[in-house]
Amino acid sequence: MIGRRYNRSRYRRQKNKKNVIISIICLLIIGGVVVGIKFIPKSNKENVQVTTKPDEEIDSGDKEVVNNSEDKDVTDNFEEVESNILDNSGYLSFEEDPNADDAAIVAENTKGLLNGTKHYPVRTDGKKVVYLTFDDGPSTTNTPGILDVLDRYNVKATFFTLGKSIEANEEAKSILKETVKRGYAIANHTYGHDYSYLYPNRTMNVDNIVSDLEKSENSMKAVLGKDFSTRVIRLPGGYWSWEGRTPMKEAMEQDGYYNVDWNALNKDAEGKTKNADELLQSTKDTIEVLGPNADSVVLLMHDTYGKEETVKALPQIIEYLQGKGFEFRTIK
């Protein structure tokens, strides 16, 4: 009996000990889970999705702060974009304009060809390029017709405008804006085209010329916007027609101007009045004399009042140049 009680007691002790061990293990397991939930590693916290309150449950004060912050970012961005927009009727620089060539290069090539220091070919890209240029406008009678012809043939041109022509009437100002809108280049041909004022005794008066150029550009700014500018100029009668060129050359370099003369023309301002056929023939004659290697041609024409025959001749002139393989570009 004593032996059996001893064995039963030993069995209970062993059983109790086993239960204690199992309880301890269970507690350890439960505690580990709780600890694991409570102490989420930093790396795992980044992946935990947090559910926020709906907008209507957010405190109104906090909500206002958030919205004000977003509005401020939008306003700042809008102001930054606005500050980058030039007040120049959308006029593109030559770097931005796919149809334009650098006035510095065109001026240098044309000058070299005229004074004999350069010979064709002068371009480095293998192209044949003609620059159609129109002086003395805008006019209400002929500039619109020239723009329409250019658009029809999808070719570009450069307009050497006069300040007094721009200021002549409101329609002329609208035509200047339309010229820019259609993607043509605007250049400065002085304000008044007054030979006696610009070249007294056939000598360049630098102060008068610069003043006239500035006055003309102010006329352009008044129409196209305060940020408009052009570095392309053409002196009435041409740069090489007058004495005193060296001081003028220094003034142009100082002011960043590039004078672009011409080496071909339709002669619509020379001699007797010519009809469209005669203007076409003059164009052909002056281009043919340049030779077969001519690859950079600046063609002088006029879009001022009394040049209706130039408008009529322009389609034939364009077709002739296209037949010679020329590409049409602007000067900026």
pLDDT tens, 28-41?
A: 544 444 444 343 44
Together in a domain, 241 and 310: yes
Together in a domain, 244 and 295: yes
Query: What pLDDT digit, counting tens, does each position of 172-230 carry?
Result: 999 999 999 999 999 999 999 999 999 999 999 999 999 999 999 999 999 999 999 99
Together in a domain, 69 and 165: no
**Does residue 90 lie in a domain region?**
no
Together in a domain, 142 and 279: yes
The CA distance from 131 to 265, in Å, is 11
The CA distance from 195 to 208, in Å, is 11
Kindly give the pairing relationship between strand 129-135 and strand 327-328: parallel
The CA distance from 209 to 197, in Å, is 8
Query: What pLDDT digit, counting tens, does each position of 256-296 carry?
Result: 999 999 999 999 999 999 999 999 999 999 999 999 999 99
Together in a domain, 188 and 214: yes
User: pLDDT-based confidence at 84, cuts 50/70/90?
Assistant: confident
Q: What percentage of the chain reaches a pLDDT higher than 90?
A: 74
Helix (H) or strand (E) holding 178: helix 170-181
Q: Tell which wins on pLDDT, 67 or 314.
A: 314
Q: Domain count for the chain, please give it.
A: 2
Question: Among residues 135, 136, 268, 295, which one is catalytic?
Answer: 135
Together in a domain, 15 and 162: no
Give me the domain span that covers residue 262.
Answer: 100-331
pLDDT at 111 over 90: yes
Mean pLDDT of 144-162: 98
Residue 71, pLDDT score: 57
**Does residue 95 lie in a domain region?**
no
Together in a domain, 157 and 294: yes
The CA distance from 135 to 234, in Å, is 9
pLDDT at 13 over 50: no
Together in a domain, 233 and 187: yes
- CATH label of the domain that carries residue 157: 3.20.20.370
The CA distance from 262 to 157, in Å, is 14
**Does residue 93 lie in a domain region?**
no
* Mean predicted lDDT score pLDDT of the chain: 85
Question: Among residues 189, 193, 268, 302, which one is catalytic?
Answer: 302
User: pLDDT-based confidence at 127, cuts 50/70/90?
Assistant: very high
Q: Is 119 known to be catalytic?
A: no
Residue 23, pLDDT score: 54
pLDDT at 167 over 80: yes
User: pLDDT-based confidence at 58, cuts 50/70/90?
Assistant: very low
Together in a domain, 240 and 289: yes
**Does residue 182 lie in a domain region?**
yes
User: pLDDT-based confidence at 24, cuts 50/70/90?
Assistant: low
Q: In this structure, is the dihedral angle defined by the CA atoms of residues 193, 199, 200 and 205, taken in order, positive or negative?
A: positive
pTM for the structure as a whole: 0.77
Report the amino acid identity of residue 207: D
The CA distance from 233 to 242, in Å, is 16
pLDDT at 60 over 80: no
Together in a domain, 77 and 108: no
Together in a domain, 156 and 299: yes
